[in-house]
Amino acid sequence: MEGPEFSSRRTDPGWEVYESFARLSPNALAGGPSEQERLERVHKLARLIDQTLLRPEATPAEIDAFAAAARRYPYAALCVQPVFVERVRRALVGTPIQTAVVVGFPHGALPASLKAAEARALAEAGAQEFDMVIHVGSLLAGDDDEIRREVEAVVQAVAPRPVKVILECAYLNREAMIRGAAAAVEAGAAFVKTSTGFGPGGARVEDVRLLREVVGTRAGVKAAGGIRNLASALAMLRAGADRIGTSHGESILEEALRADQAAGGF
């Protein structure tokens, strides 16, 4: 089931998880894997997921329930609005799950100095990963230097914590995506990311594939926006994503457990 865009030598974690589900069949599981081994397969997928709750109307009680439910799976991170960073950080003590936060969200229309100040304050509040939105208008105007400056400002403000740079690809053509991803990586981004989930469109396989081609092994690729089921998550991993951003992580993982138990093919 491997696509022509990658060789069989691809060994990154996203591809490993994709293949582990793609190769499921009754014969693959016959006589073999224990329930623990099946759970570990699903946990490997969970470790690539940033489970998010970014709705502007989310209440503290909803955030508490969100963080409590997340303890069921070893997600890479929980990503929340800045106002909830300290609350989530406390709730995740004793787990391997990182506390992620958005910066300049959702439009990216803040000066670099303010994005850096926001990120620095959130790092002091306990945030461990940072998903920042670039100023899309600067990129569309061809001002790649401004993109580099703002990304570098945030990267330096929170170093050595990872910064994921949201390009909001639905606004961009191929050339702008290439320039934006290149500028972000040159400025020290740990990941480039497709979408906020609040723009005109979400993650697309072709965008993930292009971002992977641009960044190579220099940075990760995070697919986010509209990923609501196992098939769409696996499609993004197949295209080159290292991380999946979704508010549907629990249902995706429950679907993965059912697929594994049934030895269904993907």
- Structural domains of the chain ordered from first start: 13-260 (3.20.20.70)
The pLDDT of residue 33: 58
DSSP states along 202-225 = ---HHHHHHHHHHHTTSSEEEEES
Tokens of 39: 């759970």
Of residues 92, 13, 86, the one with CA closest to residue 46: 13
The residues of the chain scoring below 50 in pLDDT are 1-8, 26-31, 264-266
Structure confidence at residue 41 (pLDDT): 87
222 is catalytic: yes
Integer Rg of the chain from CA: 18
Angle among Cα 96, 33, 49 to the nearest 5 degrees reads 30
Q: Which tokens belong to 261? A: 């138990």
In angstroms, the first-to-last Cα distance of the chain is 9
Total residue count of the chain as it appears in this document:
266
The count of other CB atoms within 10 Å of the CB of residue 59 is: 10
Question: Which of the residues 50, 131, 144, 260 is marked catalytic?
Answer: 131
- The pLDDT of residue 3 is 38
75: left (phi over 0), alpha (psi -120 to 50) or beta: beta
pLDDT value for 7 = 39
In DSSP terms, 243 is beta-bridged to 222
Catalytic residue, candidates 50, 115, 164, 222? 222
User: What pLDDT, on the 0 to 100 scale, is given for residue 263?
Assistant: 55
Q: Do residues 209 and 5 lie in contact, with contact meaning Cβ atoms separated by under 8 Å?
A: yes
User: Is the CB of residue 152 less than 8 Å from the CB of residue 126?
Assistant: no
193 classed as catalytic:
yes
Q: Which of 50, 164, 193, 207 is catalytic?
A: 193
